[in-house]
Structure 1
């Protein structure tokens, strides 16, 4: 405790950093940021931008950068991303945008690296934004990403053409809307864990991802399923699996 107080007093540690060390989280006007989640859970807290003001998103991102040297922001609007880019330019942090997901890092951040590959597959272009969110989480975790887009089962040949790539991945995330058939088909062709992500595309009865979710839950091939449009959750699950694979490879036989 004394060392923390002395560090704050001499300016080598900010009050927010000290609070993160003591409590594991930092409290600000925009809410509490869980700075210890990476150590506790293996996945950092993501800042869900949806439903928050521009000022709240920037404040939470700044807190994340101050206490963990990186920030992961999901479902950000163009206005929020513009503000984050301005913050990045004024603070010498890097910013990488993947669709509506943003990764920010300070110069002191040491990028994680995993000896594992996550395959991310989409049935069609409309599934891209959800897959982008999953990809950002896996990239932040340090996994190698192999992205395969637009291989839906309406033209099964394009799915089968990529089977060898699917089999080389250590874990697969497969995003699909409509009836959600693609994850169930791929899961029957590989011995890799498959995480199905139903996407809210389609229309009519069972639209908005409901038919895709039901189809994946009823799959006769073995796969895991996350909620509709839950790209972050799929990415987090895949990252945890990738880390386990990487640790096993590092430990050797």
Structure 2
């Protein structure tokens, strides 16, 4: 503790970073940021931008970069993205900022941030173009956790040969995140054809009875093939689960190499 206090007094450590080291979180005018989440659970903390003002999102993103060297903000609007860029340009001019347009996920890395690198691969699979938003969110999160991420898109079961043509590629990965709307059949079919873990990601496409992802979620939960399922449009959760599996695969391979 004395070393931390000395660093603050010497201007080498900000009060926010010191609080994060001592308490595991940092307090800002926009709320408390869980700076210890990745150390504690293996999953990086993210700022959910829904329901927050541009200034609140920018404050939390800046706090994240200050305390962990990285920030992930999900469901970011254009106004929020502009506020984030202004704030980081002022406080962390050397930070890199990337907005993934389709899933609306913004990632910022501080100048000294070292991205994790896992010896594990994850494939994000979509039934159709309409599934790209939550699938893209899953891809960003998994990549930020250090896994190699590939994409296989538009292989929905309306034309099953689109899936069977890619089976060798699917089987080459350590875990699959499979996104589908409508009746949600793609993850259940895929899980019956591969010998790797499948995470079903139901998407809020479709309409009428069972629309807005309800039929997709129900179908995946009722699957007679073995897969795990996250909530509707829960791309972050699907990506985090895939990343955790990838961490275990990497640890096993590292141990085998020693």
For 1:126-171, what per-residue CA distance to the aligned partner results, in whole angstroms no more than 9, with x for missing partners? 1001011100111101110110111111111111111111100100
For 1:198-223, what per-residue CA distance to the aligned partner results, in whole angstroms no more than 9, with x for missing partners? 00000000000000000000001000
Quote the offset at 1:88 in angstroms: 4.0
**Cα distance in 2 between the residues matched to 1:196 and 1:65:** 31
Quote the offset at 1:75 in angstroms: 0.8
**Structure 2 residue matching 1:182: 3-state secondary structure:** helix
**Cα distance in 2 between the residues matched to 1:21 and 1:153:** 49
| Counterpart check, 1:65 vs 2:69 | no
5+ residue gaps, structure 1: none
1:94 paired residue number: 96
| Counterpart check, 1:169 vs 2:173 | yes
5+ residue gaps, structure 2: none
| Counterpart check, 1:202 vs 2:206 | yes
In the TM superposition, what are the counterparts of 1:1-253 in structure 2 within 5 Å? 1-90=1-90, 91-98=93-100, 99=102, 100-252=104-256
Quote the offset at 1:28 in angstroms: 1.0
**Structure 1 residue matching 2:119: 3-state secondary structure:** coil
**Cα distance in 1 between the residues matched to 2:98 and 2:177:** 21
Contact 2:62/2:88 (<8 A) preserved: no
TM-score of the two chains, using structure 2 as the length reference:
0.96
**Cα distance in 2 between the residues matched to 1:150 and 1:201:** 14
**Cα distance in 1 between the residues matched to 2:255 and 2:121:** 17
For 1:210-248, what per-residue CA distance to the aligned partner results, in whole angstroms no more than 9, with x for missing partners? 000000000010000000000000000000000000110
Quote the offset at 1:83 in angstroms: 2.2
**Structure 2 residue matching 1:103: 3-state secondary structure:** strand
Contact 2:131/2:203 (<8 A) preserved: yes
Quote the offset at 1:177 in angstroms: 0.2
